[in-house]
Every structure is written in structure tokens, then in C-alpha cells.
A and B are shown apart, each in its own frame.
Chain A
Amino acid sequence: MKRVSRRAVLGGVGAALLAAAGGVAVVRTRGYEVPADVAGRLRVLAPWQWVVLAAAARRIAAPDVDDGSVPTADDVGVATFLDSYLGNLPDPMQRDFLRLLAFLEHLAPLGQKLTSRFSRLGAADQDRVLASLEASDQGLLRGGFDGLKSLVFMGYYRDPRTWKILGYAGPFVRNG
């Protein structure tokens, strides 16, 4: 009999969870409020996915000071930018990313014994959920978190307002 590796099992579990989350998302997409100026412009994300992504971006790119001197993910429009950016990605990558958002919203909190949707949790609980994905022993979830993190930082550090945090001068040219 062919031996199935632990890795394959975990990968299968991760894929199954992501797929299940997609299924759950189909039936739990109500009760999400999106700013009116955003709702009509979304290209890839459904309104509920935009809400989840915006919530994740707030925590992933959380300012280290609370004095308003650092722009938030909302200030620089991370979720709205990413809605547009996702259009650059091949269909399978888009699909996987949307499944990840569904998993993050509906199933990942359960792993931390939290019964609310991710987007309705408090900041500390959202951080716990994100940290659990980052350190998950399932490769697909870790990889998914890496992708989410990279995209959020793409949306955040693309904005010149964030460059002064780094002391980064930005491009030298005005091409394009």
C-alpha cells in the first residue's frame, strides 16, 4: 500500500479547510458594510471580502504609535488598492486568495476558540488569529499568511506617506 506522508496529509487538510471556508463564505456574506464610495468600484473583491481584507490590513500594518503621525491601512486605502491589484494575478491565485479570506473570516477564529467572525473581533483577538496562521503547522495556511502579509505591505508601503517612517526617499524618476 502506498504510504501517505504527514506532509501530504497536512497539505490536504489545509486545502480542505480552505475549500470548506469557501463553502461557508457562500452562505455567510450578509451584514457587511462597505463605504458607499468603495462598493461601486470593487473589481475583484465582493463587499464582504473587502471588509475582511481591510480588517486584516489594519492589524498587519498597524502603526506603532497612536498619535496619528503614522498613516493607517485605511488612510492609504490598502484594501481598495488590493482589489485593483488582485486583477493582475492569474485566476487560480485570485481564487486561492479569496478562499484564504473566507478561511480567515469564518474558520480561523474557531481555532482560537473565538466564535465571532474575524472582522468583528477586537484588535487583540484579530492579532491572535493572524499569529495562529503565521505559525500554523499547516504549510498552506502559513504560505497563505505570507501571501496576505506581502500583499498588505504592497498596499501600505506603496504610498509615499509611509516612506517617511522609513526614511526612504522614493523613486528618482518620474517615468511612466
Chain B
Amino acid sequence: MIVRGRELGSDVTLDVDAVVVGTGAGGGMALRELARAGLKVVALEEGGYHRPRDFTQREDEMLPMLFQDAGGRTTRDLAVRVLQGRGVGGSTIHNTNLCKRTPSDILDLWRDRYAVSGAGPVEMAPAFEAVERDLSVTEIPAELRNPNNEVLREGAEKLGWRAGPLKHNRVGCQLSGFCELGCAYDAKQNVAKVLLPQAEAAGATVYSDVKVVRVLHERGRATGVVAVAPNAWVTVKARIVVLAASAVGSAALAARSDLPDPFRQIGRGLRLHPGAVVAGRFERTMNSEYGIPQSYECTELLSFEEGSDKRVWIVPAFAHPIGTASMLPGFGKEHMRAMRTYGKLAVLTAMVHDETDGRVSADAEGRPVIDYVMSAADRAQMAKGLVACARLLFAAGAAEVVIPAIPPVRLQSAREVDGLRTDFVRPHGLPVTAVHPMGTLRMGDDPRRAVVDSRGEHHFVKGLFVSDGSLFPTSLGAPPQISIYAFALHLAKHIVERAKSL
């Protein structure tokens, strides 16, 4: 059952076994699994409940509806834009449906360096398989590759670089290209379409438009949450509390709930996968806005071996007009001239598998504050990635390549890439966007370095669990949705087991 919190006219108190905070990949999976196990469970979602008919394919209407802070969330210094979902389904409503498992090397690293137990490649394989079945994950066929993705394939092929097709979770895609604004055709196999109906059928209830402001706990045990709807307070009494409001939202909530934190781990270890774009102008018409936005990847500069200096993932990153206008350098007449080439642009992004140690905290009013200043090593990786993007675009036939730095870098040939100075890769030197926050309530069996144990339970508050990207001890170097779904599924059995003893 869905209850729209904005229709609540008076305060509400609920008494349940478990409350899930957030309804993205982690929250949606936890909700379904706990309901299926017979627990009385509710989920509270800060954003609204939207259906495919609500998705108008207009940026000015969808950004406020589907994104935190209307898409304007940034790091404290305004240098990195952090795009995060808001609403029932979380970021699964607006993501580009990329499906990659957590790399085995990363799972090994977490076991060996971060004391994460029971979650190695072998132990996690059943969860990945189950999630991929649930979400109907398939490889994106070559015939569905749009011109922007073809540019990446062609460029990589000509350079002899490692690249290949991606997998996705769409069924019935109409190739409209508006994935990042919600799918009007309901082709995304996401939380709202797949998990929520299953959770509802198992007896779960979701409250939309209800923002949790505090986790309640007494003498080392979780006892529920307090939340606020537009016209009412919602108090939930529960012996199990599952935080699944993203690496930003969950950490900020933890920070403002006075949880015991003797080793000051809450909010630490933020990773973002910061990315920057390079645009190529072609003589031929591209119309990159249509079709599946991301169906091909280049992994030439990506390795998960410990200590590797290859930490860049390259994928296409085209946007609709408002996003493109914000990305292109400058303003005024020159900017409009550049916008006239919209139909002939291809855009690639270099996303860094980052090591920068960021942090999430809460301000005096309880809002998330994101501190993240890219390390020199990560800036060097981004610079390598941008240079690689320029090479790929020229190899695919671009007539001009533009890096939207300030001032903009305009390259007319591949030869100019060779001597390119990349000192523009610095805070505020070029637009940097992040869509994959991770790692602020990290898991691990050593409480000095982790907030929750390998079963997702808080080290010092029994019954308080985390089930989202906050868990990850390091960057993934891969789109996180499958990892989040799979870890939520993997940990849910521990939550169910724990519910019996609390």
C-alpha cells in the first residue's frame, strides 16, 4: 500500500517490526525481503510517489520532481554537482540502467583490507544472479546503440582500446532517450516497477513525502524513527531500523541522530565517482539525445588491481538541451553558436574510480553537508581520462573537440591532444558532476574503521542496519545499482534473522 504523506492531516504513530528509510535500490530490496519474511514493515520516502504518466520528458519539470535540491545539490565548496534521486524508487527512477556487478577484485579488497567477511565473490554470486533475474538484466544489443555510443565504439576500435557493450535492465524500451528524466513508457525494471509491487503484495506499506529527521535509540538499541510530512509528524516504533537513504542522506541522518560513534566513523570515506565531460563536434548529424544513452563502455584506463594507476571509466554522456547548455563553456553569443551544433555533438565522460576521502555531515538545520575536494591523484586520473576522451572522439572522426574548462579548451586535431596541458583539472576549473555517492557508513568487522559490521548492523546500536551505497568501504569503479541491490539482498537475510532475537 502506498500512503501519500502529503495527505496526512494529523500526526501518526505506527508500531511495526521494521522501518526502512528510503526506497531506492537498497531500501526497495530491503522492504521486499523483510515483508516476504513475514515482518510488519513500512518504508518512509522523503520524495513523492510518481508514475510513468507523471514523467513529462521536460528537464525543468523533472529535475525538481526527481532530484534532490532540484538537481542543484553540490559539495560545500560548490565545485562538484551531486545528482541524487528523490522519490519512491530513489535514483532507480532516473538512472541510466547500467548493470555491472561489483568487481571481484573490489570484493577481495574489502575482505583483505577492510575486514568485510562473508561477502567475497563466491558468497555474493547468488545475490548478483538473483538481482539480475529480478531486474531482467540483459546485454544491450548492437542494433540499439545510438550514434553517441557508436562514436565510443568506433573510437576505441580505431585506437585498439579495450571496450565493449554494457548490460541494462530495460524491457520494452522505446528508445526515446529520456531515461534520466524518468521513463514515461515504464520500461525500466526498477524499484517502482519490480520490487514495490512485490513488497506491497507481501504486506509492506510505503509512505511517500515523509522525511525522517531522527533515528530513535535507547541503551544501544534502535527503537524507531521520527519523521515529518508536510502537515503531520510521523513516529514509527520499530525494533529494526534500516537506513537506505543514500550515502548522503543516510549519513546525514546518522549524524543528526546522536548515534554512538566513538571512533568518529559516521560520514567518513565518501566516494563520488567524479566525472567530467568532453564534447566532440562532428560534420555528420548525430542526434545523440535519442536512443539508449549509455550502451557501450571503454575500460582501457580501468583496472581494479590494488595500487593500479588506471582508475578511469569512460562512457557516453549526452544530455538534453538544458543539461547541455549548462555543460558547454562560456555564455552569450558564443555559447549560443555552440548550442546550434547540438545535433552534431557526441559527448563522453571520464569518471574516476576515486580514492579521495570525502565526508558527509549535517548542518545546524539537519541538512546534508558534503565535503569533498579531489585529491591530486584523482585529479591526475581525471586529466588522463579527459585526454583519452579527446583521443576517442578524434579517432571517431570529430571535427573539433571541446573540454568545457574555464577558459574552454578547443582542439582541432588529434595532434593537439599530445601537448595538452591539463592544469584546468582543479576545483572550479571545469564542471564536475557525481552521480554515485558511496561509502559514508562503511561496513567491516573492525569498529575502529567501520560504522556497521559485515552483516550491515551498527557496531554500537543493535537493530540499526544500513542497506545502501553507504556500506561500500571503497569506490566501486562501476555503476553502483547492481551492487546496492545485491548487498541489500545479501544483508536482508541477516536482518530477518536478527529480528527474531531482538
A residues adjacent to B (C-beta < 8 A) = 7, 11, 59-64, 70, 81, 85, 88-90, 92-93, 127, 130, 134-135, 139-140, 142-144, 146-147, 149-150, 153-158, 162-163, 165-168, 170-173, 175-176
Contacts and interface: CB of A to CB of B under 8 A. Distances in A.
Given A143-B79, A154-B60, A166-B342, A63 B72 contact: no
Given A90-B367, A147-B72, A175 B325 contact: no
A33 B123 CA distance: 68
Given A93-B69, A172-B176, A62 B336 contact: yes
Interface in B236-262: none
Nearest to A81: B60
Contact of B59 (A64, A140, A158): A158
A157 B322 contact: yes
Contact of B343 (A7, A70, A147, A166): A166
Nearest to A151: B72
A163 B342 CA distance: 10
Interface in B70-98: 70, 72, 74, 77-79
Contacts of B69: 89-90, 93
B54 interface: yes
A11 B76 CA distance: 10
Contacts of A89: 69-70, 72
Contacts, number: 134
10 contacts: A60-B331, A135-B406, A139-B427, A143-B77, A146-B326, A146-B431, A154-B60, A166-B321, A168-B343, A172-B184
Given A93-B72, A175-B53, A85 B427 contact: no
Contacts of B104: none
A143 B428 contact: yes
A165 B176 CA distance: 20
A93 to B, nearest CB: 6
A70 B340 CA distance: 12
A56 B340 CA distance: 21
A169 to B, nearest CB: 9
Contacts of B332: 59-62, 127, 130
Q: 4 shortest A-B CB distances, which residue pairs?
A: A143-B78, A171-B57, A153-B325, A158-B60
Nearest to A91: B365
Nearest to B177: A172
A139 B428 contact: yes
B289 interface: yes
A155 B59 CA distance: 10
B500 interface: no
A158 B323 CA distance: 11
Contacts of B58: 158, 171
Contacts of A60: 331-332, 335
B336 A157 contact: no
B56 interface: yes
B9 interface: no
B337 interface: yes
Contacts of A176: 53-54, 56, 61
Could you say which of A90, A139, A168, A175 has the most chain B C-beta atoms within 10 Å of its C-beta?
A175
B230 to A, nearest CB: 14
A62 B373 CA distance: 33
Given A11-B77, A59-B332, 9 more contacts: A7-B427, A64-B333, A130-B331, A146-B78, A150-B72, A153-B322, A158-B322, A165-B339, A176-B54
B289 A168 contact: yes
B325 A157 contact: yes
B407 interface: yes
B333 A62 contact: yes
B64 interface: yes
Contact of A175 (B54, B334, B335): B54
A143 B59 CA distance: 21
A119 to B, nearest CB: 17
A7 B373 CA distance: 11
A168 B59 contact: no
A60 B330 CA distance: 8
Contacts of A157: 59, 321-322, 325
B77 A173 contact: no
